[in-house]
Structure 1
Amino acid sequence: MQKIRYWVVGGEYTSTDFETLIEGTERVVGPFESRSDAERTWRYLSEDHRPQAQVRFTIAQEPQGTMTA
């Protein structure tokens, strides 16, 4: 049985359209074994960057079958 892993990804974007990340601001945090652990980190990062309107983070679920034994 494979475990599902979660990652928190994001950074600062060029605009509030959130389409293009500014190079060098990318952040990838994880992996997390549970969604709740990832949500805690996402919440912390989001709150920490709240004054910066062009910074956004999201939770990504690792696709099934990408892990090796």
Structure 2
Amino acid sequence: MSRARFWIVGGEYASTDFTDLVAGSARVFGPYGERRAAEDVWRRVSEDFRSQCLVRFTIAAEGTA
């Protein structure tokens, strides 16, 4: 049985289309063994960049729960 791992991924995007990351701005946090832990980090990181409208992070899951 495989356990899910969760990652926080994102960075600064070139426009509000949120399709292209600015070179060198990508950030990855994790892995986290529980979604709750990933959500806590996502909230903290998102709050740190709240004033920068082109910075966005998301939670990505790997494996199965």
**Structure 1 residues 7-26: aligned runs within 5 Å:** 7-26=7-26
After TM superposition, which residue ranges in structure 1, 4 or more long, deviate above 6 angstroms? none
TM-score normalized by the length of structure 2? 0.94
Cα deviation per residue 1:36-65 (whole Å; 9 max; x = unaligned)? 00000100010000000000000000144x
| Higher strand proportion (structure 1 or 2) | 2
Partner of 1:67 in structure 2?
Answer: none
Q: Percent identity?
A: 55
Q: Counterparts of 2:44 and 2:11 in 1: how far apart (Å)? A: 14
Q: Counterparts of 1:23 and 1:37 in 2: how far apart (Å)? A: 28
Which residue identity lines up with residue 7 of structure 1 in the other structure? W
Which residue identity lines up with residue 10 of structure 1 in the other structure? G
Which residue identity lines up with residue 33 of structure 2 in the other structure? E
The number of residues matched between the two structures is 64
Which 5+ residue runs of structure 2 have no aligned equivalent? none
Partner of 2:40 in structure 1?
Answer: 40
TM-score normalized by the length of structure 1? 0.89
